[in-house]
Amino acid sequence: MSTQPETASSDRTETLTVREAIRAALREEMEQDEDVFVMGEDVGKFGGVLDVTDGLFEQFGGERVRDTPISEAGFVGAGVGAAATGSRPVVEVMFSDFLGVSGEQIMNQMAKMRYMFGGKIEMPVTIRTTEGGGMGAASQHSGTPHTWFAHFPGLKAVTPGTPAAAKGLLKSAIRSNDPVFFFENKMMYEQSGEVPTDPGYTLPIGEASVEREGEDVTVVATQRLVGESLDVAEDLAGETSVEVIDVRSLYPLDTDTLADSIRKTGRMVVADESPISYGVHAEIVTRMVENEFFSLDAPLQRVGVPDTHIPFSSPLEDEVVPDGDDVRDAISQVV
Amino acid sequence: MAAPTIGLLVNPAAGRDVRRLTGGATVSDTYGKRRAAECVLAGVGLADDPVDVVVAPDGGEIGQRTVAEADRSNVRLLDVAVGGTSADTHRAAAAFRERVDAVVVFGGDGTTRDLAIEIGDVPLLAVSTGTNNVVPTPVDGTVAGAAAAFLATGAVDADDATYRHTMIEARVDDGRSIRGLATVGVVDQSFVGTRAVLDPDDFLGGGVSRAARGEVGLSGVAGALTRVDPDDGRGVALELDADAERSVTAITVPGVVERVGVAGWSHLDPGDERVFAVEEAVVSVDGERELEVQNAEIGVRPVPDGPRLVDFDAVFEAAPLAADAHAVERR
Amino acid sequence: MSSISIEDTDGRREILRRMLTIREFDSTAGDLFADGEIPGFVHLYIGEEAVAVGACAALDEEDYITSTHRGHGHCIAKGLDPNRMMAELFGRRDGYCNGKGGSMHIADVEANMLGANGIVGAGPPLATGAALTSQFKGEDRIALAFLGDGAVAQGQVHEAINLAATWDLPAVFLVENNHFGEGTPADEQHNIENLSETAESYNIPGFTVDGMDVTAVNEAVAEARERARNGEGPTLIEADTYRYRGHFEGDPEPYRDEEDVKHWQERDPIDTFAERLIDRGDLTEAELEEMRSEIAAEIEAAVEYARDADLPDPSEAYDDMFGEPVPEIEEFASRLRADGAGGDSR
Ligand SMILES: Cc1ncc(C[n+]2csc(CCOP(=O)(O)OP(=O)(O)O)c2C)c(N)n1
Ligand SMILES: [Mg+2]
């Protein structure tokens, strides 16, 4: 169930990298809604340490593209307070490993305020943050903690696997009146693809996308592993017919699209770059077992990080950061 | 003729050195300094004639913020470069000399000295931001602003309310020289280090341009032996030695009253010089270590042509009654 | 007892040597990064050498330090071995963290160096904790936390200082104010100029020293250490300094111009100290040159050492997660190892 709104101008696309797609989403939403503003460390004049917000300061000025001190507890919390009072902040936390610093405001304020106040407030805050290993950044700059946020009641979490998903989901996240965590895998910024140009283009939060249809096995992937799984599917074509789904949204999770697929293939590999135990994989597997137990033809497989942190040295990092080969091996276990 | 103008300079770094750890010196914070600067702007209103204020920018942006927040056309920022060092004070002083009628400075002895070196004959209203000072007066910013305005407008004649503060100079035989406002010291240490002289026992000797019992540091030690007013044009040379037979009680640093061994002392008249020969020492001025010297002779002598410092009490003694005083009925 | 005494000639020469070693190590690391031999993030300490060396010389070997993402200087100042540091930068098994940490995480607990840190502001709470151990066990050692000006905006830093102040812990917090946190000037991150002013809120002494002058830092830390050991609690010192290189290697530095850097280089901490030692007769020009070439050789040897050292075996990725191994990881390891699908095959 790939979801592209059927409007005439949405047919037009341009080739963008993930970085450009995110930047375009920010720009368009800031142009459309003056309540939207961006804040974070070096997002303004510097253009973001990974260049994502480059040019926004020049276009919108320092009030709306706001450089913060190194105070994640303070400015994430300020994002919560601003969202509760009618602003629509997009807060960048440079590396998701730093989310720990802002833990309190996320767990007890952002996630709970609407509920505790009996639904009297909106919480239109978006947290953008980077995740993932692969660049020798070592344990404190390579983590993938998205499970924590998908797990925590009251928070939504999305993990785009393509430039189009990145743009569409970020625009929806900004427009949403709920807190949405937008997780960017930092190895994907240069990945390019076709992205709709229509400023009205969005993708609904809570829908997965079948990126490649197949008959024998379903690979349910997130982020970088979507692209790598598509490559594997291409390699195996003729031998094994692999269906590849980009989960896109961890919470809410599109159980139906996954269930439809496994009903067809009977086999599933869940590939997500996060620690395996108690994770995203477990949730997806559980939903399949609950909903499609009688469609299953083989044990479900998990591809993820083997419950370690991400080490610095490349032989070690390569060992624990999952990739297409791990997906291929997992497929070979079940077909 | 241009409107009467006063200059204002705040040293953001004053009152923030290591003496806050080792002694009883009080701390001076940025917020307090900023408020004091704002008070000066209010204080100038006590004079009958309008007064312009030119504020020096500083590394702590205290001056810049004062101007921005004042948002008044008679308050302007001095157009000089800022580097965050004492050179800022020198630059500001040189610019002030050309165009203001009086200068209010917030800082300690060091700041006042930095200003004094370039300020020429412009009356200097030195306001202390801490306790560890000899020269500046601890006075409210509003009062300082009012005094400056009386002088700048001519309501009070500067000759009636200022005095020429003698300076004291140390000349090293390698050609280097340095001037202190109140004191120069020869310190038994190797390095400039944190600048502050932490242990008064380290003084081998020095010279002062003023001596009074109630002063802190070398001028207080000299003050235990004699009295020299800052405008006497003279100085006192001190030779100190913890093991000397004779000692005097003095306030050596804030919070410390102790006995200081004095091996000898003498008055220094203009032209007199006392020479200290050392293997290794640091020359301090106004309580701060400045020059490292080895195998040197250091000549210490008074220099009479120091800055014109304002005596606050004298200003208000000479200040006129309010212009509208007559309108108020006397009962 | 301080580890290196600035009072004697040998001590002064050692201080100079360590500053020169930091500069050489970091210039070399910068080149190796540019050549692609060192991966990841590398933050160089060049320009700030007087802070680490001045501080560590005033400490005893038993005293703890915590460091930052810009940690090479702290390591060398604390006496760590450039060979094993370089090996860590190269991700070798022989590195201080067996290749798991890299530049941003070098630690040597045996030297009481409790780690560089990838999290800005995370060191001070650890130093407070180390100082707590010292107080708790009745020991005579102190803990010193290095932190950046940017870190002063972190909540946990203030909580750590408040704890240490309230409990009179033997700690020293040393702010390296190099005037930038990444690309943002310190005055856009703080409403005060002197970051040492924060001390007043905790009722402890705070003051600012010239961080380009090793003698100033040394004296200040020595005083603060005495105070800590006397049970009088922590001190906050701000050292005014500057980094000559970008925030990280590869930083395009749009936020400043070369003139600013040159301005600070005029007061270079190494050149000025070397000059003073020569003036005093502690060292001749020739000896200085000799010292420089010895250090250059030492660092070159460290690079060779690191290049020749073994990379860790991929299986080592599973080690060190716990003191007592868990079956989960053993299971994942054996599965991944069996099918050879670890990263080797990539
Ligand atoms: C909690 C946290 N937030 C942000 C970062 C990203 N980051 C790394 S270094 C740095 C700047 C730190 O500035 P400062 O403390 O002044 O140290 P300097 O780099 O100047 O030595 C930032 C923002 C981080 N590592 N940790
Ligand atoms: Mg900094």
CATH number at residue A22: 3.40.50.970
Instruction: Name the region of C191 (left: φ>0; alpha: ψ -120 to 50; beta: rest).
Output: alpha
Query: Tokens for B1?
Result: 């003729």
Q: Residue B30: which pLDDT band, with cuts at 50, 70 and 90?
A: confident
pLDDT of C143 higher than 60: yes
In this structure, is residue A121 part of a structural domain? yes
Which atom from ligand 1 is nearest to the alpha carbon of C176?
21
Please, are residues A182 and A129 in contact by the beta-carbon 8 Å criterion?
yes
B77: β partners: B55
Encode pLDDT of B55-106 as tens digits: 999 988 899 999 999 988 899 999 999 988 888 999 999 999 999 999 999 9
Give the model's pLDDT for residue B131: 66
Mark whether A190 and A221 lie in a shared domain: no
Mark whether A253 and A119 lie in a shared domain: no
Give the model's pLDDT for residue C345: 35
pLDDT of B320 higher than 50: yes
pLDDT of B107 higher than 60: yes
Q: Can you give the CATH number for the domain in which A317 is found?
A: 3.40.50.920
Q: Which residue among A196, A227, A251 closes a domain?
A: A196
Encode pLDDT of B308-318 as tens digits: 999 999 999 99
C151 chain-A contacts, CB cut-off 8 A: 70
Cβ neighbours, 10 Å, residue C196 = 28
Give the model's pLDDT for residue A1: 46
Mark whether A18 and A143 lie in a shared domain: yes
Which protein residues touch ligand 1 with a CB less than 6 Å away? A 41, 70, 72, 94, 98, 101; C 68-70, 118-120, 148-151, 178, 180-182, 247
Q: Residue A315: which pLDDT band, with cuts at 50, 70 and 90?
A: very high
Question: How many whole angstroms separate alpha carbon C226 and alpha carbon C58?
Answer: 10
Give the model's pLDDT for residue C110: 97
Mutation site, C6, C8, C12, C207, interface B, largest B CB count within 10 A: C207
Question: How many whole angstroms separate alpha carbon C36 and alpha carbon C17?
Answer: 28
Please state the rounded mean pLDDT for residues C132-155.
97
Tell me which of C294 and B256 has the higher pLDDT.
C294
Q: How many residues does chain A have?
A: 335
Cβ neighbours, 10 Å, residue A332 = 15
Q: B21 and C209: CB-CB below 8 Å?
A: no
Q: What percent of chain A shows pLDDT beyond 90?
A: 97
Question: How many whole angstroms separate alpha carbon A211 and alpha carbon A222?
Answer: 12
Question: How many whole angstroms separate alpha carbon A104 and alpha carbon A77?
Answer: 8
Q: Which helix (H) or strand (E) holds B286?
A: none
Bond from prior residue into C82 cis (ω within 30 degrees of 0) = no
**Catalytic-labelled residue, pool A20, A29, A131, A141:** A141
Mark whether A216 and A67 lie in a shared domain: no
* Least confident interval from A201-205, B31-35, C137-141: B31-35
Please, are residues B35 and B135 in contact by the beta-carbon 8 Å criterion?
no
B198 chain-C contacts, CB cut-off 8 A: 219, 223
Q: Which helix (H) or strand (E) holds A302?
A: strand A301-305
Please state the rounded mean pLDDT for residues C258-271.
95
**Catalytic-labelled residue, pool A20, A28, A72, A211:** A72
**B312: Cα separation from own chain's centroid:** 14
In this structure, is residue A202 part of a structural domain? no
Question: How many whole angstroms separate alpha carbon B85 and alpha carbon C193?
Answer: 13
Min distance A12 CA to chain C CA atoms (Å): 35
In this structure, is residue A319 part of a structural domain? yes
Ligand closest in space to the Cα of C179 = 2
Mark whether A171 and A245 lie in a shared domain: no
Q: Considering only CA atoms, which of B39, B74, B70, B67 is closest in space to residue B146?
A: B39
Min distance C129 CA to chain A CA atoms (Å): 18
**Subunits with at least 3 CB pairs below 8 A relative to chain C?**
A, B
Considering only CB atoms, C193 lies closest to which of B18, B59, B83, namely B59
Q: DSSP secondary structure string, A232-265?
A: HHHHHTTT--EEEEE-EEEES--HHHHHHHHHHH
In this structure, is residue A5 part of a structural domain? no
Give the model's pLDDT for residue C339: 63
Tell me which of C93 and B197 has the higher pLDDT.
C93
Task: Check contact B-C (3+ Cβ pairs < 8 Å).
Answer: yes
Which atom from ligand 1 is nearest to the alpha carbon of C248?
19
Dist. CA C149 → ligand 1 center (Å): 9
CB burial of residue B62 (10 Å; 0-12, 13-18, 19+): buried
Cβ neighbours, 10 Å, residue C10 = 10
In this structure, is residue A242 part of a structural domain? yes
Give the model's pLDDT for residue B1: 52
Q: Which residue among A196, A227, A249 closes a domain?
A: A196
Q: Is B6 helix (H, G, I), strand (E, B) or coil?
A: strand
**Structural domains of chain A, count:** 2
In this structure, is residue A2 part of a structural domain? no
Give the model's pLDDT for residue B60: 87
Please, are residues A99 and A129 in contact by the beta-carbon 8 Å criterion?
yes
Considering only CB atoms, A137 lies closest to which of C40, C326, C336, namely C40
Mark whether A81 and A219 lie in a shared domain: no
The half-sphere exposure of A298 on its side-chain side, counting CA atoms within 13 A, is 17
Min distance A9 CA to chain C CA atoms (Å): 38
Tell me which of A2 and A58 has the higher pLDDT.
A58
Please, are residues A146 and A181 in contact by the beta-carbon 8 Å criterion?
yes
Give the model's pLDDT for residue C344: 40
Give the model's pLDDT for residue A29: 98
Give the model's pLDDT for residue B72: 87
Min distance C183 CA to chain A CA atoms (Å): 6
Question: How many whole angstroms separate alpha carbon C175 and alpha carbon C194?
Answer: 10
Q: Which helix (H) or strand (E) holds A308?
A: none
Mark whether A171 and A46 lie in a shared domain: yes
Give the model's pLDDT for residue B19: 78
Query: Tokens for A155?
Result: 């928070």
Which atom from ligand 1 is nearest to the alpha carbon of C181?
13
Mark whether A241 and A167 lie in a shared domain: no
Question: How many whole angstroms separate alpha carbon C149 and alpha carbon C8?
Answer: 32
Dist. CA A118 → ligand 1 center (Å): 39
Dist. CA C21 → ligand 1 center (Å): 24
Where do the domains of chain C lie, and which CATH numbers do they carry? 9-311 (3.40.50.970), 313-346 (no CATH)
pLDDT of B22 higher than 90: no
In this structure, is residue A330 part of a structural domain? yes
Q: Considering only CA atoms, which of A79, A50, A73 is closest in space to residue A185?
A: A50
Q: Which residue among A139, A174, A196 closes a domain?
A: A196
Query: What is the average pLDDT score of chain C?
Result: 95
In this structure, is residue A201 part of a structural domain? no
**Nearest residue in C to B23, CA atom:** C205
| Chain A contact present for C205, CB below 8 A | no
Please state the rounded mean pLDDT for residues B259-270.
97
**Nearest residue in A to C88, CA atom:** A313
**Subunits with at least 3 CB pairs below 8 A relative to chain A?**
C
pLDDT of A86 higher than 80: yes
| Chain A contact present for C195, CB below 8 A | no
pLDDT of B54 higher than 70: yes
Task: Check contact B-A (3+ Cβ pairs < 8 Å).
Answer: no
Q: Considering only CA atoms, which of A100, A82, A187, A189 is closest in space to residue A149?
A: A100
Please state the rounded mean pLDDT for residues B155-179.
96
Give the model's pLDDT for residue C48: 98
B20 chain-C contacts, CB cut-off 8 A: 205-207
Considering only CB atoms, A329 lies closest to which of C317, C326, C339, namely C339
Where do the domains of chain B lie, and which CATH numbers do they carry? 5-164+307-330 (3.40.50), 167-303 (2.60.200.30)
**Nearest residue in B to C225, CA atom:** B21
Q: What percent of chain A shows pLDDT beyond 70?
A: 97
Q: What percent of chain B shows pLDDT beyond 70?
A: 99
Phi/psi at B295 (5° precision):
40, 60
Mark whether A69 and A213 lie in a shared domain: no
Encode pLDDT of A90-120 as tens digits: 999 999 999 999 999 999 999 999 999 999 9
pLDDT of A316 higher than 90: yes
Mark whether A143 and A233 lie in a shared domain: no
Encode pLDDT of A118-175 as tens digits: 999 999 999 999 999 999 999 999 999 999 999 999 999 999 999 999 999 999 999 9
Encode pLDDT of C62-111 as tens digits: 999 999 999 999 999 999 999 999 999 999 999 999 999 999 999 999 99
Q: A140 and C104: CB-CB below 8 Å?
A: yes
Encode pLDDT of B276-306 as tens digits: 999 999 999 999 999 999 999 999 999 998 9
Check residue B321 and report its DSSP letter.
P
**B270: Cα separation from own chain's centroid:** 21
Q: A71 and C339: CB-CB below 8 Å?
A: no
Per the structure, the complete domain to which residue A279 belongs is given by 209-334
Output the 3-class SS for chain C: CCCCCCCCHHHHHHHHHHHHHHHHHHHHHHHHHHCCCCCCCCCCCCCCHHHHHHHHHHCCCCCEEECCCCCHHHHHHCCCCHHHHHHHHCCCCCCCCCCCCCHHHCCEHHHCECCCCCCCCCHHHHHHHHHHHHHHCCCCCCEEEEEECHHHHCHHHHHHHHHHHHCCCCEEEEEEECCEECCEEHHHCCCCCCHHHHHHHHCCCEEEEECCCHHHHHHHHHHHHHHHHCCCCCEEEEEECCCCCCCCCCCCCCCCCHHHHHHHHCCCHHHHHHHHHHHHCCCCHHHHHHHHHHHHHHHHHHHHHHHHCCCCCHHHHHCCCCCCCCHHHHHHHHHHHHCCCCHHHC
Mark whether A78 and A137 lie in a shared domain: yes
The answer to whether A141 is a known catalytic residue is: yes
Give the model's pLDDT for residue B21: 77
Mark whether A181 and A251 lie in a shared domain: no
Give the model's pLDDT for residue A6: 47
